[in-house]
Chain A
Amino acid sequence: MEVLTTLGFQQMKFVPDTGSDITTIPLESANRFRLPFNRSAQPITVQGIGGRTQGSLDQVTIRLFGVVRTIPCVFAETSPAQETRSSRPPLNLLGRAGFLTDCCDIRINDSYLILTNRSGLPKWAHRLIERFYPVWRETKPTEPI
């Protein structure tokens, strides 16, 4: 996926993470690769399976399927302790917000993960369903057992 840096659009690999609410980029790689973001943006705590860390909630501009979009993104710090505990190096995670919610459909076929651009009729159908069947709004958080 192409990400806008101060040098222009740059291809970067992301790991699509359907369990992640929001796209996450490690702060170190964001600094190294000159991603423009507001360092004093809204501070946020990111919690994952590897632990909890601090980050800044801002936006990142991407180009996917030839279309430029701006999606919300957390620029997360990685503490040394967390990195030694973690079973993965700090990767760029592509979360749901702005990506699966707005522009892409995802399909898993055998060992392949297929992304398709949501445009035209499927996009309008998705909006109509949201408009007339707002099921997700009616669901209430359940009490813990």
Chain B
Amino acid sequence: MWSFLSRLFSRKPRYCESLKRFPQQLVRDLPITPEIQRALEGTRKARPHLGRRVMEQAAEDFKIQFHYTGRCLAITNTPDGISILADSMEEASDFLLKLTDEERSYVCLDFIDYWNGEPPSEPETNETQDPAHQSRTNGDRVSPPGIQNGSAHDAGIPTNEVRS
């Protein structure tokens, strides 16, 4: 009875230990930019009654939307918050093939809306950039540290390619 009640009221997310073997990016570790700060302050002003947990969740949502605007993500829950396993449609598609059925049930495909409802500005060409760099600038916006398996940043923005 006690275990049932504790499970019912527990805030621990469903979590798959074996997904740890893949490189991933914790949303908690993403930087809070001035834009995110402004959005959080706006939320705090509009809804001063919101608690700490809800504001932490809002901060995670804003971080994802700002750093991964317009992209398709494969995400999972961990005890440390949301973790990003793949950050483009191509990568997420390939990533799902590496998983077992049980692991796949812990992964959710998320399509991120644009920050402030505007598509990101034109990406710079990657030819002149050093691929060893973990971050790059896109306009005035700093890209996330990213997933450290090479192809995570190649996509940049979602492609318009339609395959029929």
Chain A residues in the interface with B (C-beta under 8 A): 7-13, 27-29, 31-34, 39, 77-80, 83-84, 86-92
Please, how many angstroms separate the alpha-carbon atoms of A78 and B164 in the complex? 11
Q: Given A8-B104, A10-B104, A28-B89, A90 and B111 touching (CB < 8 A)?
A: yes
Q: Given A31-B163, A77-B162, A92 and B111 touching (CB < 8 A)?
A: yes
Q: Are A7 and B160 in contact (CB under 8 A)?
A: no
A sample of 28 cross-chain residue pairs with beta-carbon separation below 8 angstroms, ordered by A number, consists of: A7-B97, A7-B104, A9-B105, A11-B108, A13-B109, A13-B111, A27-B162, A27-B163, A28-B89, A28-B163, A29-B89, A29-B111, A31-B163, A32-B89, A32-B90, A33-B92, A33-B93, A34-B93, A39-B164, A79-B162, A80-B160, A87-B118, A89-B70, A89-B71, A89-B113, A89-B114, A89-B158, A92-B111
Is B84 engaged at the interface, CB distance under 8 Å to the other chain?
A: no
Q: Are A88 and B117 in contact (CB under 8 A)?
A: yes
Q: Given A33-B96, A89-B70, A89-B113, A78 and B108 touching (CB < 8 A)?
A: no
Is B127 engaged at the interface, CB distance under 8 Å to the other chain?
A: no
Q: Closest CB of chain B to A90's CB: distance in Å?
A: 7
Q: A32-B93, A77-B164 are in contact. List 5 more A-B contacts (CB 8 A).
A: A33-B109, A80-B160, A89-B71, A89-B111, A90-B158
Q: Are A11 and B111 in contact (CB under 8 A)?
A: no
Q: Closest CB of chain B to A47's CB: distance in Å?
A: 18
Q: Are A88 and B96 in contact (CB under 8 A)?
A: no
Q: Closest CB of chain A to B99's CB: distance in Å?
A: 8
Q: Which residues of chain A come closer than 8 Å to B108, judged between CB atoms?
A: 11-13
Q: Which residues of chain A come closer than 8 Å to B72, judged between CB atoms?
A: 29
Please, how many angstroms separate the alpha-carbon atoms of A91 and B71 in the complex? 10
Which residue of B93, B105, B110, B162 contacts A13 across the interface (Cβ within 8 Å)? B110
Q: Which residues of chain A come closer than 8 Å to B114, judged between CB atoms?
A: 87-89
Q: Closest CB of chain A to B144's CB: distance in Å?
A: 17
Please, how many angstroms separate the alpha-carbon atoms of A77 and B158 in the complex? 14
Which residue of B71, B101, B112 contacts A8 across the interface (Cβ within 8 Å)? B101
A31, closest chain B residue (CB):
B163
Is B119 engaged at the interface, CB distance under 8 Å to the other chain?
A: yes
Q: Which residues of chain A come closer than 8 Å to B90, judged between CB atoms?
A: 32
A110, closest chain B residue (CB):
B47
Q: Closest CB of chain A to B138's CB: distance in Å?
A: 16
Q: Which residues of chain B come closer than 8 Å to A90, judged between CB atoms?
A: 111, 158
Q: Are A27 and B164 in contact (CB under 8 A)?
A: yes
B76, closest chain A residue (CB):
A11
Question: From residue 107 to 134 of chain B, which have CB atoms closer than 8 A to chain A?
Answer: 107-114, 117-119
Q: Which of B96, B101, B110 has the most CB of A within 10 A?
A: B96
Please, how many angstroms separate the alpha-carbon atoms of A87 and B107 in the complex? 27
Please, how many angstroms separate the alpha-carbon atoms of A10 and B92 in the complex? 12
Q: Closest CB of chain A to B82's CB: distance in Å?
A: 12
Q: Closest CB of chain B to A2's CB: distance in Å?
A: 8
